[in-house]
Amino acid sequence: MIGEFEYLILTAASRLGDNAYGASIRTEIENATGRACSVGALYTTLDRLEAKGFVTTRMGEPTPERGGRSKRLVRLTSSGAKVASDFFRAVSRISQGASWVTNRSTR
């Protein structure tokens, strides 16, 4: 089972496809959650996901808008897609009947 932040990264990487790298993943996560995503948390979690075989990363070409620096491109692996899908299903199942899902009063 993966954690919430790991799920967010895997999902963002899946949505972004070939354009998945540090800055774009951060933007996706910040737009989705409304919270700041630190570079430190992102890169240490990416390392963990790569060690588990859920993503692969490689350095891209340097670009001028990055001051001539390269991107660390992220690609979701099939096992990464599977654990993210498992996480989503588990969250969906456990959320059924919850007040914030059915719009019932919490009283």
Partner 1 sequence: MISRMCWALSLWLSQALEASEREAAVGDLVESGSPGTMALRAVLGLALRRQAAVWEDWRIWLLFTTMLLPVSFSLCLTSQAAAHESAVYTWMYANNWDWNLAKNSGFWYVFRDAAMRLFRSLLTIAGWSWSMGFVLGILRRKILLTSPTLLFLLLALFQFGNLPQRFTLFLMNRYAPPKLPILPDSNAPITAITVYNLIFPWIVLAIFVAPPTILGIADGEKGSSLSLRSRIGLLMGAVLATLTILPQAPGFGLLLRASGREWILQPNM
From the list 51, 65, 96, 97, which residue makes contact with partner 1 (rule: CB under 8 A)? 65
Task: Name the segment binding partner 1 (CB under 8 A); options: 1-9, 61-69, 76-84, 95-103.
Answer: 61-69
| 72 part of the interface to partner 1, by CB under 8 A | yes
Cβ atoms 62, 82 nearer than 8 A: no
Which lies closer to partner 1 via its Cβ, residue 33 or residue 70?
Answer: 70
Q: Is 66 in the site for partner 1 (CB under 8 A)?
A: yes
The answer to whether residues 74 and 28 touch, using CB atoms and an 8 Å cutoff, is no
CB 81 within 8 A of CB 98: no
Residues 2, 83: Cα–Cα separation, whole Å: 7
Integer-rounded Cα Rg, in Å, for the chain is 16
Quick note: the x/- pattern for partner 1 over 5-24, rule CB under 8 A, is: ----------------xxx-
Number of continuous H segments (helices) and E segments (strands) in the chain: 5, 2
Minimum distance of partner 1 from residue 4's CB (angstroms): 18
Looking at the chain, which runs of residues are DSSP E strands? 55-63, 69-76
Pick one of 19, 33, 39, 53: the residue that binds partner 1 (CB under 8 A): 39
Residues binding partner 1 (CB under 8 A) = 21-23, 26-27, 38-41, 43-44, 59, 62-63, 65-67, 69-72
